[in-house]
Structure 1
Amino acid sequence: MPRPTFKGPPAGGWPGLALAGILALAAAPAGAAEQVVFVSGAFRRSIPVADLQRLADTGVAVGLLGDALRISGQNPAAIGRLLHQTVPLPLVLTTRLLSTRFGEAALDRLSTILYPLRAPRVGVVALRSATIQGIQAGGGSLAGVGFLRAYPNDELAISLPALQSALQGLSGMSNVVHAFLESDLGSNLGRVNQPDAGNAP
């Protein structure tokens, strides 16, 4: 699937969208992500995962990450807590959901935003692997830093144009999650959890 591109940095400046990308992560032991790369056409900006881990552990932002948070007026400690915030996700149910057409559609859409920098066509596979491995490592829950540790590629790209497009018309990422749960995923939780219910007499 072709990735959205446009010439130069996004019109609104990259720090705000970069922050949105970081927040979207809080959406494998070997070969884990080492760099989060914000992409817009030929525009590239990389933030080491080690800096994100440090932010999550200490609330201190350094380097380019620190500059982005300062320019966007965000509290590093608050973002650090968000990166460590866990979401309970039952492993078996989540694995089943990701294998349904609804789950595949969600992964396909998300893979236009998050994908391996040098292998964008395997974005869906990478997302599924990172989610499942991250939940396993987290004992039934997933956090932003856990997802990064589980991501099976050393460079996780975040497409700023695709992210900007996904956020247009939405008041925040919580609305994205809420809308998805209320539509496809939410309406099919029961059926996935009880796959043989439709055959009951």
Structure 2
Amino acid sequence: MHSGLGLLPSLAAEKVTVRYGLFERSIPVADIRSYSETQKASSDLKSFLDYLSTEEKQKFQETLQVKMSLDIVALDKLINTGVGKQILSFASTAIARRDQASIQALRSAIIIGAKSPEGLGVVSFLEAYPSNQLVVDVSKISKLVGLANSSSSAADVPPKDNVSSSPLGKIALQYQILAAQDKQFSGCLFGDSVSAELGNTLGSGTFNFGLNGLSTISLQHLRQL
């Protein structure tokens, strides 16, 4: 994949530049890894965190802890599906590059990051990104995240099925279909985000169908599968 992009295998992001309107901060990737492991922020990272609310800081730390052990073959198939290509295309608009390889670079970082011993997460993705700097427009990324949380949380509004209403919900479910296709398991776990936190810790021969971040109403669709 790297050779197809004309990129050196050793090339990886050393710094992340975050843009939000006129705001811009550059943070070493090594500082982000250190923060994820120790919760101690470097001066560069602290200057960024100071702009976040207490809740946003907590969500940022929680996001850094998400590390997914994925089936590489299923993941490769997933990002080549229609919905996978749409997500990559949308996400690529938030990445500033001088060339036209944003989508290919994202694809490469996802696959190589997923092959890391810790699995795919924010840090492993950044460390696999084929450029010495990753420039991200947060406002555009927020739109993608907003699509994933498009269902209303108002008390008087009935809960929606996030699998059918969210692009990220659809892609999570599609991955599970691809990863479980033509395979037999001795045990399966069906659940919501709480169950999803267990990941692939149930032992060999088992499969966790818990969907992280999705409402329990989605279980109705999983049972139909």
Question: Shift of residue 101 of structure 1?
Answer: 2.0
Residue 70 of structure 1: aligned partner: 50
Matched, 1:129 2:108: yes
- With the length of structure 1 as denominator, give the TM-score of the two structures: 0.65
Q: Evaluate the alpha carbon distance shift between residue 54 and residue 170 of structure 1 in structure 2; reply closer, same or farther with a 3 A threshold.
A: same
Question: Shift of residue 93 of structure 1?
Answer: 0.3
CA radius of gyration, larger in? 2
Greater fraction helix: 1
- With the length of structure 2 as denominator, give the TM-score of the two structures: 0.58
Letter in 2 for 1:51: D
Residue 64 of structure 2: aligned partner: 83
**Aligned ranges 1:15-54 → 2 under 5 Å:** 30-39=10-19, 44-54=24-34
Instruction: Provide the C-alpha distance between the structure 2 equivalents of 1:150 and 1:72, rounded to a whole number of angstroms.
Output: 26
Question: Shift of residue 158 of structure 1?
Answer: 0.7
Higher RCO (C-alpha under 8 Å, 6+ residues apart):
1
Letter in 2 for 1:155: Q
Matched, 1:149 2:136: no
Instruction: Provide the C-alpha distance between the structure 1 equivalents of 2:66 and 2:25, rounded to a whole number of angstroms.
Output: 25
**Aligned ranges 1:105-120 → 2 under 5 Å:** 105-113=86-94, 115=95, 117-119=97-99
Instruction: Provide the C-alpha distance between the structure 1 equivalents of 2:106 and 2:170, rounded to a whole number of angstroms.
Output: 21
Residue 23 of structure 1: aligned partner: none
Q: Say if 2:83 and 2:167, in contact at 8 Å, map to a contact too.
A: no
Q: Evaluate the alpha carbon distance shift between residue 50 and residue 89 of structure 1 in structure 2; reply closer, same or farther with a 3 A threshold.
A: same
Secondary structure of residue in 2 paired with 1:118: coil
Identity of aligned residues (%): 28
Secondary structure of residue in 2 paired with 1:142: coil
Matched, 1:100 2:81: yes
Instruction: Provide the C-alpha distance between the structure 1 equivalents of 2:61 and 2:169, rounded to a whole number of angstroms.
Output: 29
CA RMSD of aligned residues (A): 3.4
